Amino acid sequence: MFKNQKIAKTIEEIESNFNSNNLEGLKKINKFSSNKSIKLSANVMKIFRSISPKITKLTKGILGVAIKVSTFNVQLLHFSKELENLSTELEKNSENLFDSIEETNNSMSEISTVMYKSANEISNVSQMANSIFDDIDKNDGILNEISSINSDLSNNAKSIEEDTTNLNKIINEMRTIVSGIESVASNTNLLALNASIEAARAGEHGKGFAIVAEEVRKLSETTTEQLNTMKKFMETIETASLKSLDSVSFTLKNIDSINEKSSNLKTSFSKSKNDITYVINGVQEIATKSEEIAASSEEISAVMDLINKNAENTVEASKKIRDKSILAKNIGNDIGEIELEISDLAKLSGEITKEEYLKVSKEDFLTNLDKAIVAHTNWVDNLLSMSNEMKLKPIQINGHRCGFGHFYNIVKPTHPQIKEIWDKIDSIHLDLHNIGALVEDNIKNNQASQAQENSKKAKGKSIQIITMLNSMKNIAINLGETETIF
């Protein structure tokens, strides 16, 4: 009877030390008790109390690792996909650059050849221009000679015009003299006729006078005939001189016209010489620049060859990057498998936390709710930013794998008010992350309006979840001394 009472008292002592977490007391009972069952119980209680903080820490650690692995995996898969897309685009652009460089290189080679050929042709043009300049210079000298000859010819023509005018004056004077002689001849003829009539009346005595009268009459007729001939000759000379005068006047006009045109031509030649001088200088400069361009083209071709080689290296590097991105994606998938395993371990640790002395504390519960509130606020902000920018970002679209999702699957509150909210929040939380997946699809398909609309829906769901989380916080904070969450 006494022995049983002693055992009962020792058991009570073990329970008291266990509840007060007195490891030294449990160790002392284990050391000095002679009862094997008591020793075993004390030792088990001591070991349990020793490892329970470590188990709790391990549970928290598994939860933290699961969340970090999940976050890292989302980012890894996102960036590996981006890297794969970028490497594919880089490879494509590099190949296009390679083709463009090759075409450019060929074009530069053709340009170099053409420019050298053009330089030679331009040099020929320059020589031809110099030859034209010399010809124009010679023609300018010839025009000067023509101008001098025209000047002499004009002076001679003016002299001829003056002489012809003077000749017409002389002819007019001769016509006056001839008219006078003609009048004398007519009177002489009349006088001879009267003398013949008087000689006939005188008879034999007038015969000698008649002969003289007859001779005078013949002389008068001969003189009249000669005068008529002279008149005709003078008329011919007058007609010819008038024609000559007209011809000389026409010649003078033509000479003046030739002089004017020669002067214009000389001015034109002078301008042409200046223009050709400008052209020669320009052509020579073009020839120089053409040679410089040709030389630069060769330098560019050399640089393009180097760029071409770099482009080939870039293509190869982009292929390697793509291979590495695919490897990173595969690693992400492997990490996803590891995450599932860690998640299972977290669930198992959640089962452990159901035990009385291993339950999640109120402080840890409140801390995780605060983290969930911040995380979902940031998550929705990221989603809104994605829909506004129409650009994908790494976000978790699996509600079971976010921080709150892992925590939700580990712990199971038993407090009636908290449990009621806890049971309802799960479906809303999963809907929120499913909407995130819809927004990602909208962005991939370039559906801006649908992405904006779904982001607003997610915002509404997030507000609802945060309200529920705050409600559970308030209930937990205001729990009585005898009330527990789990």
Question: Is residue 141 in a domain?
Answer: yes
Tell me what pLDDT residue 303 has.
64
Of the candidates 405, 451, 453, 401, the residue with the CA atom closest to the CA atom of residue 426: 405
3-class DSSP assignment, residue 321 = helix
Q: At 202, which CATH number? A: 1.10.287.950
Tell me what pLDDT residue 23 has.
80
Separation between Cα atoms, residue 424 and residue 393, nearest integer Å: 29
Question: Is residue 96 in a domain?
Answer: no
DSSP string, 155-209: HHHHHHHHHHHHHHHHHHHHHHHHHHHHHHHHHHHHHHHHHHHHHHHHGGGGHHH
Q: How does pLDDT run along the chain (486 residues), one tens digit per residue?
A: 445 677 777 778 877 887 777 888 878 887 777 787 787 877 877 777 777 676 666 666 666 666 666 676 676 666 666 666 766 776 676 666 666 666 666 665 666 666 566 656 666 666 666 666 666 666 666 666 666 666 666 666 666 667 667 766 776 766 677 676 767 666 776 766 676 776 677 666 666 666 766 766 676 677 777 767 766 766 777 676 666 666 667 666 766 666 666 666 667 656 666 766 766 676 666 667 666 666 666 666 666 666 667 666 666 766 666 666 566 556 656 666 666 666 666 565 656 666 666 667 889 899 999 999 999 999 999 999 999 999 999 999 998 888 888 888 888 898 999 999 999 999 999 999 999 999 999 999 999 999 999 999 999 999 999 999 999 999 999 998 788 888
| 153 lies in the same domain as 271 | yes
| 415 lies in the same domain as 289 | no
Separation between Cα atoms, residue 135 and residue 81, nearest integer Å: 77
Instruction: Specify the pTM.
Output: 0.52
Query: Which domain, by its residues, includes 206?
Result: 131-299
Question: Is residue 163 in a domain?
Answer: yes
Domain end, chosen from 253, 269, 299, is at: 299
Tell me what pLDDT residue 157 has.
61
Of the candidates 296, 294, 291, the residue with the CA atom closest to the CA atom of residue 126: 291
Question: Is residue 17 in a domain?
Answer: no
The total of structural domains in the chain comes to 2
Provide CB contacts within 8 A for 272, sequence distance 6+.
136
What are the CA-CA distances from residue 296 to residues 97, 111, 117, 402 (Å)? 21, 10, 15, 61
Q: At 416, which CATH number? A: 1.20.120.30
Tell me what pLDDT residue 172 has.
72
Q: Which two tokens stand for residue 4?
A: 């049983």
